[in-house]
């Protein structure tokens, strides 16, 4: 398809035994989590791939933690949230990330206010679940129609007629600033993801984080969302990352496939001093129960840091 990049059969090859043998003696593994999205991918009703199933599979496969996709949850009521916490703790998993959707690229203040209110509610859900960081989006102009069309255009879309990109940045920065006090109060770090819209490039993400200028806004760094110069762009944001999301594409990607060099990415993160979670987002067409454990092996090999 038009949005494809470097088509390949899968993702990076695991580091060889020889390379593992060359690691420094005093190292520690980055903890590796998995997003519940990896088991669902919006394929069919979310009830067919419930959170409880994802938690059980993540524990069985040997992950350290699990990242919850909010739209995959079947309830936001307290008993449901408490049961997820209990199930994950009993399975030996950290609830280590909360992936949410919102957008602030609207000329109408009323719409932006609605999105701010929704984001604050999501922060409070993360707090209720005991999750320390929440993925944040900028939102996008919405001029490209469907998500499939956006992907066919490599995530690029025209600015809404009558407005400028500068308008969009001002709306996003102002909206996030209004969410920061709740993030600070609850202790939930917001991680702005490089996720299309004004966050499509490292430069865009960096501008927003710099202008908001709060320790409660950092970066959720996604390895699969830079379609040009991925390693240079990852390096630009590595020092501001609170969470890394790592994509793999076994069986070919749903929208595109990237041939990512995970040992190289691991080295970028080591140089930046990153010691936090790496969260797998499997986005290929292979059976997740086959592809997810292969992906875990790749990430275990690539992500460690010297003590």
| Chain segment 192-232, per-residue pLDDT in tens | 999 988 999 999 999 999 999 999 999 999 999 999 999 99
- The list of the chain residues with pLDDT below 50 reads 1-19
pLDDT for residue 149? 83
Confirm whether 8 is domain-assigned. no
pLDDT for residue 7? 37
Instruction: State pLDDT tens for residues 149-182.
Output: 888 878 888 899 999 999 999 999 999 999 999 9
pLDDT for residue 68? 98
How far is the C-alpha of 30 from the C-alpha of 274, rounded, in Å? 8
Confirm whether 265 is domain-assigned. yes
Confirm whether 74 is domain-assigned. yes
Confirm whether 208 is domain-assigned. yes
Confirm whether 9 is domain-assigned. no
Beta-strand relationship, 27-29 and 304-306: antiparallel
Q: Residue 132 sits in which domain range?
A: 17-306
Nearest C-alpha neighbor of 137 from the set 57, 208, 75: 208
How many domains are contained in the chain? 1
Three-state secondary structure along the chain?
CCCCCCCCCCCCCCCCHHHHHCCCCCEEECCEEEECHHHHCCCCCHHHCCHHHHHHHHHHHCCCEEEEEHHHCCCCCHHHHHHHHHHHHHCCCEEEEEECCCCCCCCCHHHHHHHHHHHHHHHHHHHHHCCCEEEECCCCCCCCCCHHHHHHCCCCCCCCCCCCHHHHHHHHHHHHHHHHHHHHHHCCEEEEECCCHHHCCHHHHHHHHHHHCCCCEEEEEECCCCCCCHHHHHHHHHHHEEEEEEEECCCCECCCCCCCCHHHHHHHHHHCCCCCCEEEEECECCCHHHHHHHHHHHHHHHCEEEC
Q: Could you tell me the CATH number of the domain that includes residue 56?
A: 3.20.20.150
Confirm whether 7 is domain-assigned. no
pLDDT for residue 21? 54
pLDDT for residue 151? 80
pLDDT for residue 145? 78
Confirm whether 249 is domain-assigned. yes
Confirm whether 1 is domain-assigned. no
pLDDT for residue 9? 39
pLDDT for residue 121? 98
């Amino acid at each position: 398809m038009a949005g494809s990049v470097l088509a390949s059969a899968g993702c990076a090859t695991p580091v060889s035994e020889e390379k593992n043998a060359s690691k420094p003696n005093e190292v520690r593994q980055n903890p590796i989590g998995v997003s519940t999205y990896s088991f669902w991918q919006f394929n069919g009703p979310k009830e067919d791939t419930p959170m409880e199933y994802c938690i059980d599979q993540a524990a069985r496969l040997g992950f350290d933690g699990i990242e919850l996709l909010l739209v995959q949850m079947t309830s936001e009521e307290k008993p449901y949230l408490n049961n997820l916490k209990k199930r994950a703790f009993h399975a030996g998993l950290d609830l280590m990330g909360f992936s949410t959707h919102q957008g602030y690229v609207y000329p109408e203040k009323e719409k932006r206010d609605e999105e701010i209110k929704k984001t604050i509610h999501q922060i409070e859900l993360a707090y209720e679940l005991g999750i320390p960081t929440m993925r944040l989006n900028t939102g996008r102009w919405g001029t490209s129609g469907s998500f499939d069309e956006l992907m066919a255009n490599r995530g690029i879309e025209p600015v809404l007629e009558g407005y400028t990109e500068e308008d969009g940045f001002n709306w996003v920065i102002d909206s996030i600033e209004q969410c920061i006090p709740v993030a600070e109060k609850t202790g939930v770090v917001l991680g702005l993801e490089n996720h299309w819209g004004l966050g499509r490039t490292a430069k865009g993400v960096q501008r927003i984080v710099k202008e908001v200028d709060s320790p409660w806004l950092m970066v959720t760094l996604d390895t699969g969302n830079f379609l040009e110069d991925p390693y240079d762009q990852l390096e630009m944001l590595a020092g501001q990352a609170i969470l890394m999301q790592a994509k793999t594409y076994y069986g070919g990607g749903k929208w595109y496939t990237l041939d990512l060099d995970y040992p190289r990415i691991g080295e970028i993160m080591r140089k930046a001093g990153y010691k936090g979670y790496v969260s797998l987002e499997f986005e290929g067409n292979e059976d997740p129960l086959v592809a997810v454990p292969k992906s875990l092996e790749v990430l275990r090999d690539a992500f460690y840091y010297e003590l």
